[in-house]
Structure 1
Amino acid sequence: MGIGSGIALIAIGAIIAFAINVDLGGAVDLTLIGYILMAAGAVVFLISLVLMLRRRSAVSTQRTAVDPASGEQITTRRTTDNGEPLA
């Protein structure tokens, strides 16, 4: 499920809650079902947004060492994005 699924659930829930006026008896309340779908859509949307933002994080590592043979200082820089090296 993604951001689109959350938006779709919110839209379907709003249509059911506000646009449909059908009496199905005392057992089913379409307005309540619409509200439940809108709440579920909001939760799916927020979870998808958080997961997408976490995926975008990058980690940068810098290591410095001294070469014993030449006495030169060597600096290595590495940037990763979710475990995959970047340029």
Structure 2
Amino acid sequence: MQSDSDRVRADLDAIGMRASGSAVGLLQLLKELLDARVLGHDAVERIREAIIADVAGARPRSQTQADFEKRVRERMDNLLPLDPEAEAPVAH
């Protein structure tokens, strides 16, 4: 069974974000800000969209933009799942 840390590292690697302390720290910071209700769902969605757009813009030429972006979104959902009806992240 994969640990949470291993899963996060694998998801980050899969979408092209190296599992550096900065990437992991950003995700943890977003989760903490959501839990504290400092950031709402809309703000986190804008941050997620910015990350997705940046990562998808550097896609391999062998993959279509739509397919690559779909996979990036799925991985982001694993990394930072959100319940659209709530202001806090979904518990794992």
Q: Would you say same fold, with TM above 0.5?
A: no
* TM-score, normalisation: structure 2: 0.32
Name the structure with the higher strand share. Answer: 1
Larger radius of gyration: 1
**Which protein, 1 or 2, shows the higher relative CO under an 8 Å CA cutoff with sep ≥ 6?**
2
* TM-score, normalisation: structure 1: 0.33
